[in-house]
Structure 1
Amino acid sequence: MWLHVGCAQWTHPAWPQPSREKLRAYASWCNAVESNTTFYATPSRAVVANWAAQTPPDFRFVVKLPQVITHERRLTNVDTELRGFLSAIEPLGPRNHAVWIQLPAAFSPTDLGALAAFLHNAPRDHRYAVEVRHRAFFEDATASANLERVLARAQAEWIPFDTGTLFARRPTSFAERDAWMKKPRVARRTRVLTGHPIVRYIGRDSVEETVDGWSYLVDLVVHWISEGRSPTIFLHTPDNVEALNLARRFHATVAAAVPAVAPLPEPVEAEPPTLF
């Protein structure tokens, strides 16, 4: 049984990491990562091959489509860009868990035709997962059902970004205020569509509040694993200082309830600082 956990990045100044091969070090702490850098530009195959070389075959990348596809072209007339991107990430092999289609907040239920056409034409040898931010998808039952039908036809998953804990009370730090301005305030979603659910969860600066807020998610993940699903959970905080430890803590909490879950690797020690 597998539970994959990870963060929004594989390097952070506050994390215990060596000066080189930071991804290899990160992969000794977590077994999944959100690949946000691909949103800004399609990486070269050589760069992606280096990512693969630093991670074991069972490591999961959830790679975000470039913004030219999702935000600038809004999924229309992007066949060349999509195929170029999929070719670039090919060196990941089995590590490429899902292609992450994060849509802008302005992408509304009236745009579902573009998503349906995109998923219909997308190569079938990849798994796709969609994140929407328009509030109608969370507040209007018809809009939600229509989106689910589009995703179901392509065997794609709906990625929820759970910001409930973040917005539970007013921010008390710069990082929390910044997150309040940037993160979507949408209803919590617990329904999954495939055998590979993906959830993004953001807490607060307080570790205790973050852990208290994910209790429902622990129960859900235990249930999904009992159903034979293979979930991937990404843990965020406003500044992500504690995200690495929180990801391992979440995994340990689930593993305590489901001992058959495969363990995480043992973290490698960071290199001691040198003068040269």
Structure 2
Amino acid sequence: MSKRLYVGCAMWTHKAWTGRVAPKNAHERLRFYAGWCNAVEGNTTFYATPTRETVQSWAGQTGEDFRFVVKLPKVITHERRFQGIDADLSQFLHVIEPLGSRVRALWIQLPGSFAPVDLPALEGVLARLPDEHRYAVEVRHPLFFTDGPEARQLEKICGATGTEWVPFDTTAFFAKPPTSDAEREAWERKPRLPRRDRALTEQPVVRYLGRDSNAETEAGWQHWVDVVAGWVREGRTPTFFLHTPDNVDAPALARRFHDEVRTRVPDLEPLPRPEEPQEPGTLF
């Protein structure tokens, strides 16, 4: 059985990708993106739950091997903080049902104000979520990154339900001051936390933020090439999401990361070959 690594970006459509990664036709952009990457962050569901018909269109544009890591709506995680969420959660689970096995995990991103004292709320919701999905939690409170009892408590809660802890590695980005408008915006918005690379499950998920410079982005991910290659050799199936401040070259960079891991793990299954959009132009 061949080994597999999922790679992707924070979105499947970007203005700068038109004519390079995807055509002008908005209804086909996910299909073209799925020729570049085999996974995507489902950030769109954080802001509003889509219609079931919209989600059916996502399934129709992607093959059965494509994976979504779908973010729970912010009304559940940020606004209500798991209190009184039954109706919203039920609606969300119904809406994403057409994705079927394409759902890699349901992603529970928590705000920086979600502290260790709030963990019982997370434990409660994880215990009653349906078993047919995998779950992944992203925390941003600094106390979870001090290698103390707070981290061990979160790991214990995750371990009880087979939930992964998603690190968002921004250390390469924050290694030096910003040099562009996009980097300055990310400097203000992105979390600045220590890097964490401990996998809790067989399907670890990593988010990595590079720089505007592709060379600096690639230099900063070398740690993850080693870690991810090691996970694959162990029989795990990781997912690696590539971010840059402007995300202009993110699909090609995600493929480059996959290529670098594949040089370490030659039996890693290759990515699909991108389909050329109607408009001319290529990345790089």
Q: State the TM-score, normalizing by the size of structure 2.
A: 0.95
- Show the counterpart of 1:90: 97
Cα contact 1:42–1:85 (8 A) shared by 2: yes
- Show the counterpart of 2:56: 49
Q: Which runs of 5+ in 2 are unaligned?
A: none
- Show the counterpart of 2:252: 245
State yes or no: 1:19 paired with 2:24: yes
CA distance in 1, matches of 2:83, 2:127: 12
- Show the counterpart of 2:78: 71
User: 2:236 is paired with a residue of what secondary structure?
Assistant: coil
- Show the counterpart of 2:7: 5
CA distance in 1, matches of 2:189, 2:265: 35
Within a 5 Å distance, the mapping from 1:66-215 to structure 2 comes to 66-215=73-222
CA distance in 1, matches of 2:277, 2:16: 12
Shift of 1:19: 1.9
Shift of 1:272: 2.8
Q: Which runs of 5+ in 1 are unaligned?
A: none
User: 1:261 is paired with a residue of what secondary structure?
Assistant: coil
- Show the counterpart of 1:261: 268
User: 1:28 is paired with a residue of what secondary structure?
Assistant: helix
Runs of 4+ in 1 over 4 A off after TM superposition: none
Cα contact 1:76–1:118 (8 A) shared by 2: no
Identical pairs, percent: 58
Count of residue correspondences:
273
CA distance in 2, matches of 1:217, 1:77: 39
Deviations 1:95-138 (A, max 9, x none): 01100000000000000000000101111111000000001100
CA distance in 1, matches of 2:33, 2:153: 38
Shift of 1:12: 1.2
Shift of 1:201: 0.1
CA distance in 1, matches of 2:90, 2:240: 27
Q: State the TM-score, normalizing by the size of structure 1.
A: 0.97
Shift of 1:140: 4.7
